[in-house]
Amino acid sequence: MAKQRSSLTIDDVVGAWAILPTPAKAGASDWRAEDTVDIDETVRIVEELIASGVNGILSLGTFGECATLLPEEKSAFLGAVIEAVRGRVPFFTGSTALSTRQVVRDTRMAHDMGADGTMLGVPMWCAPSEDMVVQYYKDVAEACPEMAICVYANPEAFKFEFGRSFWRRVSDIDQVITAKYVSVGNILTDMALSRQRIRFMPLDGFYINCARIAPDFFKAFWTGGAICGPEVVIKLRDDVAEAVRTGDWSAAERLSGRIDASYGPLFPNGSFRDFSTYNIILEKERMNAAGWAHVGPARAPYHIAPEAYLENARLSGRMWAELCAEIREAK
Task: Specify the CATH number for the domain of residue 22.
Answer: 3.20.20.70
Overall number of domains in the chain: 1
- 76 sits in which H/E element: helix 71-85
The burial of 280, by beta-carbon neighbours within 10 Å (0-12 exposed, 13-18 middle, 19 or more buried), is given as: buried
Q: What separation in angstroms does the CA of 137 have from each of 6, 59, 130, 162, 174?
A: 15, 19, 11, 13, 11
> What share of the chain in percent tops pLDDT 90?
92
Say whether 74 is catalytic: no
Calculate mean pLDDT across residues 281-303: 98
Residue 4: inside a domain:
no
pLDDT in tens, 43-61: 999 999 999 999 999 999 9
Question: What is the widest separation between alpha-carbon atoms in the chain?
Answer: 58
Q: Out of 138, 159, 180, 219, which one is annotated catalytic?
A: 180
Residue 33: inside a domain:
yes
What is the extent of the structural domain holding 91? Answer: 10-330
Residue 283: inside a domain:
yes
Residue 206: inside a domain:
yes
Residue 165: inside a domain:
yes
Whether residue 117 is predicted with pLDDT greater than 90 in this model: the reply is: yes
Residue 59: inside a domain:
yes
Instruction: Provide the 3-class DSSP secondary structure of residue 49.
Output: helix
Quickly list DSSP for 95-143. ---SSHHHHHHHHHHHHHHT-SEEEE----SSPPPHHHHHHHHHHHHHH
pLDDT in tens, 20-42: 999 999 999 999 999 999 999 99
Taking alpha carbons only, the member of 231, 223, 229 closest to residue 330 is 231
Residue 305: inside a domain:
yes
Residue 270: inside a domain:
yes
